[in-house]
Amino acid sequence: MTCVLLGLSFAAQDLDRMQRLARERFGAEAGESVDAWRRMLGDAADLDDQEKLQRVNTFFNRRIAFEDDIVIWQQKDYWATPLETLGRKAGDCEDFSIAKYMSLRALGIPAEKLRLIYVRASIGAPGSGISQAHMVLGYYPSPADEPLVLDNLIGDIRTASRRPDLFPIFSFNAGGLWVGGSTSSSADPTTRLSRWRDVLDRMRTEGLP
């Protein structure tokens, strides 16, 4: 716990910077959003994992409106950083998942327990056969456990078995990307070629660890 507190106090400077950036780029309202997000992180710091999940999930599901990338960013597929998501107050499923993932990482939950999961989501009535590509964040209390699913489509967190509408395809996290603690890969031009590494890199420049 002390570790987390230490981590947070250390991160305070970077978060100040993030708040300033948000105000500069997206206006005063965005600054307040980031401020609210910081307050939420501060409140949740001392809670247990389950409650942290709950706080983070609720924060983003309530505050951020779902919108397609083409509407927000005028691009077909754009992975936004939490700052951008908070700034626009809108995002699609990837943006929700990334923002939640980063928030939980900031609250000290290890990367091994978190997975960004591509899922096939059945929409409409059960058995209607209509489905769409979707992304959720999974939390694994232990490696062998069933994950808890943080989804922007529904408000509460459920275990995977209680989500028959979702079918997992592939999962990933930031583990193994920056082995050896290399400080920044922004000098490496190959970073920009991968969406995931690109967004990780941008978040880092915006002040997230």
Binding site for other proteins (CB under 8 A): 115, 117, 138, 140, 143-144, 146-147, 160-161, 168-173, 175-177, 179-180, 188-190, 193-194
Is there a contact between 195 and 78 (Cβ–Cβ < 8 Å)?
no
Cα 54 from chain centroid (whole Å): 14
Is there a contact between 174 and 111 (Cβ–Cβ < 8 Å)?
yes
> Closest approach of Cβ 53 to other proteins, in Å?
16
Nearest CB to other proteins, comparing residues 8 and 177: 177
> Closest approach of Cβ 204 to other proteins, in Å?
17
Nearest CB to other proteins, comparing residues 127 and 164: 164
Place of tokens 């305070």: 12
Nearest CB to other proteins, comparing residues 13 and 194: 194
> Closest approach of Cβ 134 to other proteins, in Å?
14
| Distance, CA of 32 to CA of 89 (rounded, Å) | 11
Nearest CB to other proteins, comparing residues 28 and 144: 144
Nearest CB to other proteins, comparing residues 31 and 147: 147
Nearest CB to other proteins, comparing residues 10 and 172: 172
> Closest approach of Cβ 117 to other proteins, in Å?
7
> Closest approach of Cβ 164 to other proteins, in Å?
11
163-176 per-residue burial string, b: 16 or more CB within 10 A, e: under 16: bebbebeebebbee
DSSP sequence for 12-73: HHHHHHHHHHHHHHH-HHHHHHHHHHHHHHHHHTTS-HHHHHHHHHHHHHHHSEE--HHHHT
Nearest to 118 by CA among 25, 12, 195, 3: 195
> Closest approach of Cβ 161 to other proteins, in Å?
8
Nearest to 28 by CA among 36, 13, 14: 36
